[in-house]
A and B are shown apart, each in its own frame.
Chain A
Amino acid sequence: QIALKESGPSLVKPTQTLTVTCTFSGFSLTTAGEGVAWIRQPPGKALEWLALIYWSNDNRYSPSLENRLTITKDTSKNQVVLTMTNMDPVDTATYYCAHREPLGYFDHWGQGTLITVSS
């Protein structure tokens, strides 16, 4: 059964680069059709999709954040890593990773990790 868990620093300073890791089990990113997405949610606000990586190594990014994001995968460790540069207090949010079902929807989510941006 599929499970995902996010990990990363709880606090980052403005202008720093954030690195968050999604460690998953129950599927493989070497299997055709599989993917992992990152989504964030500022406190009390809506969900915002950030990035997606496919089994094929193809990536997709939110157009509004594309120049700050990089998503990579390590298939040997069953991990997906998201980096976001030049962090700002408005980037304070819970960051979720989710399994992208081959048909495209997100059927399993991690518990999320709260990242606070503050000096």
Chain B
Amino acid sequence: VLTQSPGTLSLSPGERASLSCRASQSVRTDYLAWYQQKPGQAPRLVIYGTSNRATGIPDRFSGSGSGTDFTLTISRLEPEDFAVYYCQQYGDTRVTFGQGTRLEIK
């Protein structure tokens, strides 16, 4: 089980965002990803392998963590960053998603 916190994060453009994802069992760092989803759109891969940015993702996005605790950080929020973010663990046998963190404009 992946538990994301907070459920909703209210921040202003230019601020720093830290989103947490906690796993009930240890996750290999190779197997942790983050996705961004905007209303009416499919999810978009942001981070894979805990800390690798996907193609086209700006460097204000970064991922970190190990074991059971992982973090997605957005260094300076841009208006287009406000969305729902999901963490995901993926292995050879099964996949699970967290329940999501809604990042909203304050």
Contacts and interface: CB of A to CB of B under 8 A. Distances in A.
Interface residues of B, number: 26
Given A60-B92, A105-B49, 18 more contacts: A37-B95, A39-B97, A46-B86, A46-B97, A46-B100, A47-B35, A47-B37, A47-B43, A47-B97, A48-B97, A60-B93, A60-B94, A96-B42, A96-B43, A104-B92, A106-B33, A106-B90, A107-B45
A83 interface: no
16 contacts: A37-B95, A39-B97, A46-B86, A47-B43, A49-B97, A60-B92, A60-B93, A60-B95, A63-B94, A96-B42, A104-B30, A104-B31, A105-B48, A106-B33, A107-B48, A110-B42
A103 B94 contact: no
A104 B88 CA distance: 11
